[in-house]
């Protein structure tokens, strides 16, 4: 079901890929997939929220390199580059509220520098944007044509508006310089290598249930999200990368679930007796979230394949298999 942690027989090389944020949760899975597809991969990361352990399984793999680099300051990559995938950014509320300026910088200056690299190398470019660009949506489900409902000065705006700016900048480079640039809007994703304390619902619920602690649900738990397993997300990203589409393209699972139902399901899968408790909802927390994936389905031939319970079981299994994460030893 999951992307192999160790790429098998490597096919003929397809080129060289640069992945910013390559040691993050999503970036590490993307690096693994690109290597398996025959790319040489250079992962760049400042390690603000990423961690080298996420790509430890790639250490010594032919064609893989991990380099420390803050793309908000500069991007210098000698030699040819065929594709640039910009995934560097704090991506959970805990992270971007702790690092608001860094989040704005990587979404603006980091995107500018990554686009500049792609332009200089004549490379294809893909921006990792987000469903957060829709804000607290007034249209449901959300098609790519929806412009969103974002509070531009609220605490979450540092992430939302950074991504929206990155999208605008990407399209400006496409129109002005003819850059082969693409935008993917990523919906809530889960899977192995998530950090247990990054503030997102699934790792929080899973680690609380596994530890027998109260499961904390924000508000009354009626707010919804649509969650996708990381393997399905990576497949959609790769299909977009190799397509003629520019996007934005929604990649997410239209299976919508309330946060209370999600908490109860995870508790049942763990077999835990943890009580569910309620905490205040964060400011500007979206009430609804579900992607319209018509474009991805019809033009990329893509839709999620991993079942809801199957994916959750895999993510829970990852945390259960790494007790040192539950103990708070790792960041």
Q: Which residues are catalytic?
A: 159
Assign 21 to helix, strand or coil. coil
If one counts every other C-beta atom within 10 angstroms of the C-beta of residue 36, the result is 17
φ, ψ for residue 299, nearest 5 deg: -105, -20
- The rounded distance, in Å, linking the Cα atoms of 187 and 250 is 7
Using the CB atoms, write b or e for 207-244: b if 16+ within 10 Å: bbbbbeeebebbeebebbbbbbbbbbbbbbbbbbbebe
- The encoded tokens of residue 97 equal 């509220």
Determine the Cα–Cα distance for residues 37 and 43; give it in Å rounded to an integer. Answer: 16
CA distance 173 to 140: 30
Interior angle at CA 235, CA 68 and CA 245, nearest 5: 95
Residues 6+ apart with CB under 8 A from 131: 142, 185, 186, 187, 188, 250, 252, 289, 291
Give the list of residues 6+ apart from residue 193 with CB closer than 8 angstroms, or none. 25, 28, 29, 54, 318
Strands 224-226 and 256-258: antiparallel
């Amino acid at each position: 079901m999951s992307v192999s942690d160790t790429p098998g027989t490597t096919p003929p090389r397809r080129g060289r890929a640069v992945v910013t944020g390559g040691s993050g949760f999503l970036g590490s899975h993307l690096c693994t997939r690109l290597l398996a597809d025959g790319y040489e991969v250079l992962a760049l990361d400042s390690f603000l929220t990423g961690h080298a352990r996420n790509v430890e399984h790639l250490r010594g793999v032919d064609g893989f390199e991990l380099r420390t680099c803050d793309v908000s300051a500069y991007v210098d990559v000698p030699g040819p580059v065929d594709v640039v995938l910009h995934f560097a950014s704090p991506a959970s509320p805990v992270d971007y509220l702790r690092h608001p300026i860094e989040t704005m910088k990587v979404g603006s200056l980091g995107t500018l520098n990554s686009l500049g690299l792609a332009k200089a190398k004549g490379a294809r470019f893909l921006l990792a944007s987000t469903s957060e660009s829709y804000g607290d949506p007034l249209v449901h489900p959300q098609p790519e044509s929806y412009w969103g409902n974002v509070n531009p000065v609220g605490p979450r705006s540092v992430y939302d508006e950074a991504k929206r700016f990155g999208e605008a900048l990407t399209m400006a480079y496409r129109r002005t310089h003819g850059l082969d640039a693409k935008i993917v809007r990523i919906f809530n994703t889960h899977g192995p290598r998530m950090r247990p304390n990054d503030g997102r619902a699934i790792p929080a619920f899973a680690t609380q249930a596994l530890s027998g602690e109260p499961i904390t649900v924000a508000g009354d738990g009626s707010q919804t999200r649509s969650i996708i397993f990381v393997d399905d997300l990576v497949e959609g990203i790769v299909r977009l990368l190799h397509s003629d589409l520019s996007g934005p393209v929604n990649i997410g699972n239209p299976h919508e679930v309330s946060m209370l139902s999600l908490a109860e399901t995870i508790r049942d899968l763990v077999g835990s007796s943890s009580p569910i408790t309620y905490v205040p909802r964060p400011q500007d927390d979206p009430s609804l979230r579900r992607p319209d994936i018509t474009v991805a389905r019809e033009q990329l031939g893509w839709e999620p394949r991993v079942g809801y319970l199957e994916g959750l079981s895999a993510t829970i299994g990852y945390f259960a298999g790494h007790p040192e994460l539950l103990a708070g030893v790792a960041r």
